[in-house]
């Protein structure tokens, strides 16, 4: 116990932000002293910064299996989502937007801002998209489409599998929750990632635009070397993000196997409780994440009580928990929208951490229900 009476914290909210990876920390500190100059300039410090930025882009490309000229660093994952989706739309002024019912709010906000006609694809009880509605006769009236389907859901972890897109469709993938943890899905024209989700620094997004994809910048032009970027890139942070991604991909097989087993242990403990609904695909999912809903318990009170015992977890919609709004994702799945908790393990979460959580949860639930 600490002096405040709160047990030492066990952070179980990596889906919101993974702690900084040691590789990112080392690269960031080293780059701060040499990566400060504007990489567009011609003097020696600027050329050093340009080399660092080019190296970061090459490392990200190699880690993800893409071309270096397909990689752009943005100011956040949200910016990467907006640029990726809206750039595909600008390249096709007649395209409608098709997105899943469980997309991140960044996708929905960009779609609404575009003013384009939009329709959504339903999901099943596991949160998986019904891709049959992408094809005729349902979609025969749409001459062209931009289809937005996430790589894996940010709230329940279910992995999406998009088949070959229909003719006239450009696919945008929000991979912010999956990048680094899983291989990239196929078929995308543009794709977005967020560095703080894999242990890079916050404030770095990654936008991938496929070579020769129909994409045009949706915002005012900037005189940067990369036409998809705007403003002065944070070179040290980009290099740190690349270093973390490279490390995460290298250790992915071992970490994923360990986290799958730990999440299965939590799933078993949660499943032993009465009136609890575990949501999302039990197998085809992000390895580190589990969401469940507890009947007769307020989700915010559950999170607060777990936090008092030293467990940092999340509740509600991933980006609107502070508004106390029920989860739109869970509602689309037909699951309970109140009393939900999302547990997401960091790369350093141990079996002892998980056992402590499994021991505390029944006591907390029983106490709140009583």
CATH number at 281 reads: 3.90.1150.10
Q: Residues 111, 138: one domain?
A: yes
CATH number at 86 reads: 3.40.640.10
Q: Is residue 3 part of a domain?
A: no
Write down the residue that tokens 């980009």 correspond to: 238
Q: What's the CA angle centered on 327, arms 325 and 333, to 5 degrees?
A: 150
Number of structural domains the chain divides into? 2
Q: Is residue 2 part of a domain?
A: no
Q: Cα separation of 216 and 227, whole Å? A: 9
Q: Residues 180, 295: one domain?
A: no
Q: Cα separation of 358 and 352, whole Å? A: 10
- Beta bridge partners of residue 238, listed in sequence order: none
Domain end residue (candidates: 190, 223, 250): 250
Contacts 24+ apart (CB under 8 A), 266-271: 266/290, 266/343, 266/354, 266/357, 266/358, 269/358, 269/361, 269/362, 270/361
- For the chain, report the end-to-end CA distance as a whole number of angstroms: 25
Q: Residues 121, 217: one domain?
A: yes
Q: Is residue 354 part of a domain?
A: yes
Q: Which of 237, 243, 247 is nearest to 204 (CA)?
A: 237
Q: Is residue 143 part of a domain?
A: yes
Q: Residues 186, 156: one domain?
A: yes
Q: What is the pLDDT along the chain (370 residues), one digit of tens a residue?
A: 444 444 558 999 999 999 999 999 999 999 999 999 988 889 999 999 999 999 999 999 999 999 999 999 999 999 999 999 999 999 999 999 999 999 999 999 999 999 999 999 999 999 999 877 666 544 555 568 999 999 999 999 999 998 788 777 999 999 999 999 999 999 999 999 999 999 999 999 999 999 999 999 999 988 777 889 888 899 999 999 999 999 999 999 999 999 999 999 999 999 999 999 999 999 999 999 999 999 999 888 999 999 999 999 998 644 444 455 778 999 999 888 888 999 999 999 999 999 999 999 999 999 999 8
Q: Cα separation of 242 and 28, whole Å? A: 10
Residues 6+ apart with CB under 8 A from 295: 275, 276, 277, 336, 339
Q: Residues 43, 124: one domain?
A: yes
Q: Residues 130, 30: one domain?
A: yes
Residue range 46-97, pLDDT digits in tens: 999 999 999 999 999 999 999 999 999 999 999 999 999 999 999 999 999 9
Q: Are strands 289-294 and 340-344 parallel, antiparallel or unpaired?
A: antiparallel
176 noted as active-site residue: no
- Give the containing element (helix H, strand E) for 361: helix 351-369
Residue range 167-215, pLDDT digits in tens: 779 999 999 999 999 999 999 999 999 999 999 999 999 999 999 999 9
pLDDT of residue 227: 81
CA atoms within 13 A on the CB side of 125: 4
Q: Is residue 246 part of a domain?
A: yes
Q: Is residue 4 part of a domain?
A: no
Q: Which of 51, 319, 331, 368 is catalytic?
A: 319
Which region holds residue 5: left if phi is over 0, alpha if psi is between -120 and 50, else beta? left
Residue 367: Cβ within 10 Å count = 10
| Strand residue runs (E) in 198-350 | 205-209, 276-279, 289-294, 311-312, 340-344
Give the predicted TM-score (pTM) of the model: 0.92
Q: Is residue 5 part of a domain?
A: no
pLDDT of residue 134: 67
Q: Residues 14, 120: one domain?
A: no
Positive or negative, the CA dihedral 199, 6, 326, 349 is positive
Q: Cα separation of 218 and 223, whole Å? A: 15
Q: Cα separation of 2 and 6, whole Å? A: 6
**Peptide bond between residue 137 and the one before it cis (omega within 30 degrees of 0):** yes
Q: Cα separation of 91 and 98, whole Å? A: 16
Helix (H, G, I), strand (E, B) or coil at 191: strand
Q: Residues 210, 324: one domain?
A: no
Domain end residue (candidates: 228, 250, 272): 250
Q: Residues 236, 286: one domain?
A: no
Domain range holding 355?
10-20+252-369
Q: Residues 95, 194: one domain?
A: yes
Q: Residues 236, 283: one domain?
A: no
Positive or negative, the CA dihedral 312, 316, 320, 325 is negative
Residues 6+ apart with CB under 8 A from 261: none
Q: Residues 89, 233: one domain?
A: yes
Domain end residue (candidates: 235, 250, 265): 250
């Amino acid at each position: 116990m600490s002096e405040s009476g709160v047990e030492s914290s066990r952070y179980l909210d990596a889906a919101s932000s993974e702690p900084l990876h040691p590789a990112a920390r080392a690269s960031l500190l080293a780059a701060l002293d040499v990566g400060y100059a504007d990489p567009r300039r011609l003097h020696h410090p600027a050329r050093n910064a340009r080399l660092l930025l080019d190296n970061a882009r090459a490392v990200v490309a190699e880690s993800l299996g893409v071309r270096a000229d397909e990689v752009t660093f943005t100011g956040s994952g949200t910016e990467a989502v907006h640029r990726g989706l809206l750039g595909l739309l600008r390249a096709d002024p007649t395209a409608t937007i098709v997105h899943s019912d469980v997309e991140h709010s960044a996708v929905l906000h960009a779609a609404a801002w575009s003013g384009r006609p939009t329709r959504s694809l339903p999901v099943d009880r596991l949160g998986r998209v019904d891709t049959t509605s992408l094809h005729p006769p349902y979609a025969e009236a749409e001459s062209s489409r931009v289809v937005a389907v996430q790589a894996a859901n940010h709230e329940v972890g279910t992995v999406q599998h998009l088949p070959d897109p229909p003719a006239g469709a450009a696919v945008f993938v929000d991979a912010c929750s999956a990048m680094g943890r899983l291989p990239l899905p196929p078929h995308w024209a543009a794709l977005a990632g967020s560095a703080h989700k894999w242990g890079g620094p916050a404030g770095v997004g990654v936008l991938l635009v496929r070579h020769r994809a129909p994409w045009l910048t949706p915002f005012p032009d900037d005189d940067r070397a990369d036409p998809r970027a705007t403003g002065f890139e944070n070179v040290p942070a980009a290099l740190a993000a690349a270093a973390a991604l490279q490390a995460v991909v290298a250790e992915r097989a071992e970490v994923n196997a360990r986290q799958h087993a730990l999440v299965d242990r939590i799933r078993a403990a949660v499943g032993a409780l009465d009136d609890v609904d575990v949501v999302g695909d039990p197998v085809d999912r992000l390895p580190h994440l589990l969401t469940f809903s507890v009947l007769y318990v307020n989700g915010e009170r559950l999170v607060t009580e777990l936090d008092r015992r030293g467990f940092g977890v999340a509740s509600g919609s991933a980006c609107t928990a502070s508004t106390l709004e029920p989860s739109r994702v869970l509602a689309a799945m037909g699951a309970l929208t109140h009393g939900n908790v999302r547990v997401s393990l960091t790369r350093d979460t141990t079996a002892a951490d998980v056992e402590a959580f499994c021991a505390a949860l029944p006591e907390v639930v029983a106490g709140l229900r009583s």
